[in-house]
Chains A and B, each alone.
Chain A
Amino acid sequence: MKLALIKKKDSSFWRSCQSITSNLEESYLKLCQNSGHTCEVLTYETHANSLESHDLATLVLEKGFDQVIWLDHYPHPQNLIKVLLKHKGKLPKFIIHLFGDFILQAPLWNNVQDEIEKSNHDFEMHFVCASQKQKELVHSLLNSSNSEDVSVIPFPVDELTFFYNEEDRQKRRIELDIKEDETLFFYSGRLSYQKNIIDAIYTFATYSKTFDPKAKLILSGPMDDLGVPYLGKEALDGTFFFHWEECLREHTDLVDSNRIIYLGNLTHRDLAATYCAADVFLSLSCHNDEDYGMSPAEALCSGLPCLLTDWGGYGSFKAYAPDSVCLVPVLPGEQRHGPHRSLAVKGLASLGTPQDRGALTKLSHKKMGIEAVSKELGVLCTSIDENKKLFAGFNKKFFKLCSLFENNPRAPFRGPNGQYSLFYHELYGAYWKSSEEATK
C-alpha cells in the first residue's frame, strides 16, 4: 500500500500537538519500514487555501496513493477533500486522526458532508480517536450503529525519550532539592482554568496536612488565560496568574517551605527527567478538549503512577495500566466541572511508587510506544483497505451541534442562565461516564 502522510508545514502552536503529530509520523514511518507499505510525507500551509489544496490534490492523485493519513489537528482537510471530490476517478481512502478540537471543528466537517452529498462520489473516510470516551462522543454523532466505524488508537509516546531511568531520577531529585524520604507529586501541561490547577493545589495541600507533611508538588508548563469558551467566558490576558497568585497566598506555608514549586516551561530532556524524579503524576483536568492526555501518557511511559480525573480520554489510561492509575470521579458544576476533592486526596494517599517502575515503563510502551502504535496502525490500514469501518455520514444531533456553533460561536453551549446547556450534557455524556461502567 502507498500512504500519503499529510501534516502542517509549521509546528502547531500547542506543544502537546507538536509531539502528537511528530510521533504519529514516526509510527507510520516505522510501519512502512516493517511492512511492504510505502509512505511519503506531504506538507500543508497553515491556512490551506483553495489554490494550495488544488496543488496538493493533484499531487495525491498523480502519485496514486491508496490512503491519505491526516496527522495534524489544523488546518482542517475540508479544502483538500472538496477538490478531490471533483475528480471523476477513484480516490484514496482517508484516515483522519482526530484531536481534542473535533467538536470545535464540527461546522467544517459539516462542509465535508455537504460536499460528499453534492458529489455523489463514493468517498471513503475513517476516523481514529485516541481514547475510548472520545470514540463514544464521536460515534454518537454518526449516522451509524456500527461502533467499528470509529477506531481507537492512542497517540504514541516516544519511548526513547520517556522511560524510567534510576540515574536520571537521582540526579534530577538532587537538582530539585527533593530528599529521599519526600514524596514528589508532579503536574505537567498547560496551567489553565479548565485544567483545574487550583483544585490540584488544594487537593495537594489537604493531602499534605492530613497524610504527609513532607510531600512536595511540582508544576510545569505555560500558563494560559483560556476561560470557558463554550459558555462565552473569556478572560483578559494575565487573569489565570491572578487566580494562581490568590491560591498560593492561601498556602504561603507550602510555598515558603518550597513544597509547591512552579518550574515554568521545561525542555523535553528536563521534562523526562522530572517524570523519573517524581513519585506520582497528578492531573485533575476537566478540559473540554481532553480527548487523550499526552502528559499522563508520557508519565506512565516513565514508570510514574497517575492520579487523574475520570474525564474524557483520561479514562483510557486505567485500561492500559490498571494498577498504576487512580481515577477520581468528576462533579458536574453549572459553569465548571471539578474533581471530587476528598476522593482525590484519598487517591493521592493510595498511590505509592511502584516497586518496579521499569515494569510500568515496559507495560506502557507496549500500549502507547511508537513501536506498539505502529503495529496497530498496520492492522488499521489493512482493514481500511478491505473496505471495513468506513464513514457513513453524520446524524441529526451533529447537525444541531453545527447549528449551535454557527449561530453562537462565542458561547455555543450556554444555557438560559449562563450555565452549561442540556445539549452540552447530552453531548459530553460519554466524558462523564464512569470508566469502570464503560468497561463493563
Chain B
Amino acid sequence: MTIKNNNDWSELDFFGDKANEETNLFNRKISWNEEDPLDEKYIEFLAPHSRRYFSRLRPLFSFEIKNLRSLNGFSHILLRDGILFLLRFFQRFPEPTGFHSLLFIQEDLAFIVPEAWSSKVNLYKTVMYERKNPSHPENLVLILNLHELQSQEILHKLVKDNSNGVKSLAILPFFNQMRGEDYLDYNRAENLNVLNELFSNNVDLINQTDIGSFSESEHFFINGNPQMIYYSDSSLTHNFLRSGWTSPVYDTIPKGTDDVVSLSPYHGMKLSNYKVPSWQEPLRKRLFEDLNFPRGEFFSNEPALNRDVEDYFKIFYFSKDLLQLSYELGRELYSNKSGSGRAF
C-alpha cells in the first residue's frame, strides 16, 4: 500500500491474524450488530444485490448501522450504499463524533462526503484482472434493476450504448421486493413501461437460473445500476466476476497491482485516498452549496429512525423528497460520468 495521507489506510491490516480475527467477528454479525426487522426489510428490498458476501474490506449497508461506536471494533468497513442511503447516513451522522475507524465508499459517490467526514473516508472501485488469454464474448447479459423512479431514458441509453456489435442481448430483470402492505404504495407501472419498451426491441428476458447454461467465454455482463440510487456494491456483480465473467464497466488492471484487495482470482477492489474528482464538482456544489447538506432545511424532515414498530411498518425510512433528490443526483452523476468519458 503506497499512498499516505491523513486518512491513512496504508497502515491498515487487510491480512494477518489480527485482521482475520476482526473480519471473522465482522462476519458474525449476530455478535456485534444483530439484524433487526428494519435491516431485514431493506436487505430483502434490495435482493439479490444486497446478499452478504465475504470480503476483507467488511462490506455492509449504512442502514444496518445502529450507532457509530459499534464500528470501532474494526479498523475499517466498506459501505455498499448508493446515493440514497449514503445521503441518509451523513444526514443521520453529520459528524464522525465517536467514530474511530475508517470508511471506504464507492469512488463515484465521493461528492456526498461532508467536510467533517473527509478524514475518515477513503474510496474503492471494483476492478478486473488482466488475463493471459482473454476471450471475447459477444453475447450480453444485462442485469436490470427496475426501481420505481428510474429514468427510462437512462435505461434505454444503457441498452443502446452496450448493444453495438453484440450478437445477442438477454435481460435479467429484478424488481424491489416488498413486504407486508408496502406494495400498495409502490409504483410499478413505470417499471413495466420500461420492460414494455424493451420488449418491443425483441430482447430476451431471462431468469437467474438460466445463467447456469451460459458460458463466460461466450457471454459478458453489465449490472445496470447507472444511477446508483440504492446500492453501489452488488453481490450479484461479485458472483458473476467470481465465476470468471467479464464486464466492460470495470477497469482491467494487472494482477498484483498495489492497493488492490482481491475478491476472487479474477477481480478485486482498488483503494484510493478520498478526493472529489472535477467531474463530480457540480454535484457537490448542488448538494452542499444549494441545499446545505447535511444540516440544511431540505434534510431536516427525514424520519427519526428509532427502529421501533412504526419504522418496521414503513418501507421508507427516508422521505419521498430525499428519494427524488437521489434520482436527480443519480441522473446527473450518470450524465457527468459518461460525459467525462468513463463507463458508468
Contact = CB atoms under 8 A, between A and B. Distances in A.
Interface of A: 10-11, 13, 46, 222-223, 225, 235-239, 241-242, 244-246, 249, 262, 264-265, 267
B90 interface: no
Contacts of B2: none
Interface in B214-255: 216-217, 235, 238-239, 242-244
Contacts of B244: 222, 264-265
Contact of A236 (B53, B209, B216, B243): B53
B126 interface: no
Say whether chain B's binding surface is mostly helix, strand, loop, or mixed: loop
Given A222-B244, A236-B52, A241 B213 contact: no
B118 interface: no
A190 to B, nearest CB: 12
Interface stretch (B79-87, B259-267, B283-291, B304-312): B259-267
A245 B51 CA distance: 22
B212 interface: yes
B238 A237 contact: yes
B213 A238 contact: no
**Top 9 closest pairs, chain A to chain B, by CB:** A238-B54, A236-B54, A237-B53, A239-B54, A13-B212, A238-B53, A241-B264, A264-B244, A11-B213
B221 to A, nearest CB: 15
B255 to A, nearest CB: 11
A241 B243 contact: no
Contact of A237 (B15, B20, B54, B265): B54
Contacts of B239: 237
B56 A11 contact: no
A238 B264 contact: yes
A157 B217 CA distance: 24
A10 B56 CA distance: 37
Nearest to A175: B133
15 contacts: A10-B212, A222-B243, A222-B244, A223-B264, A223-B265, A236-B52, A237-B52, A237-B235, A237-B239, A238-B54, A238-B263, A241-B242, A244-B265, A264-B265, A265-B244
B213 A236 contact: no
Interface string B92-103: 000000000000
A274 B243 CA distance: 20
B209 A241 contact: no
A131 to B, nearest CB: 26
A223 B242 contact: yes
Contacts of A223: 242, 264-265
Nearest to B209: A46
B51 A237 contact: yes
B27 interface: yes
A235 B27 CA distance: 10
Contacts of A267: 217
Residue from A222, A242, A265 having most chain B Cβ neighbours under 10 A: A242
A13 B243 CA distance: 13
Given A222-B243, A237-B238, A237-B242, A265 B209 contact: no
A239 B20 CA distance: 12
Given A235-B54, A238-B53, A265-B216, 4 more contacts: A223-B264, A241-B54, A241-B265, A242-B54
Nearest to B261: A245
A264 B52 CA distance: 24
A245 B262 CA distance: 9
B55 interface: yes
A100 B93 CA distance: 52
Contact of B213 (A10, A239, A245, A246): A10
A264 B20 CA distance: 26
Nearest to B239: A237
B56 A242 contact: yes
Contacts of B238: 237-238
Contacts of B262: 241, 245
A267 B135 CA distance: 12
B55 A238 contact: yes
Contacts of A245: 262
B265 A238 contact: no
Nearest to A235: B54
Given A236-B52, A238-B238, A249 B15 contact: yes
Contacts of B243: 222, 265
A238 B212 contact: no
Contacts of A239: 54
Contacts of A244: 265
Nearest to B210: A10
A244 B263 CA distance: 11
Contacts of A246: 20
A213 B216 CA distance: 35
Contacts of B212: 10-11, 13
B265 A262 contact: yes
A74 to B, nearest CB: 12
Nearest to B23: A242
A223 B241 CA distance: 12
B242 A238 contact: yes
Contacts of B15: 249
A264 B54 CA distance: 20
Give the residue among B216, B242, B262 with the most A Cβ atoms within 10 A.
B242
A239 B23 CA distance: 11
Contacts of B242: 223, 237-238, 241
B217 A241 contact: no
B128 to A, nearest CB: 13
Contacts of B54: 225, 235-239, 241-242
A238 B27 CA distance: 12
A262 B244 CA distance: 12
Interface string B196-222: 000000000000010011001100000
A259 to B, nearest CB: 16
Interface string B17-43: 000100000010000000000000000
A225 B242 CA distance: 11
Interface string B104-129: 00000000000000000000000000
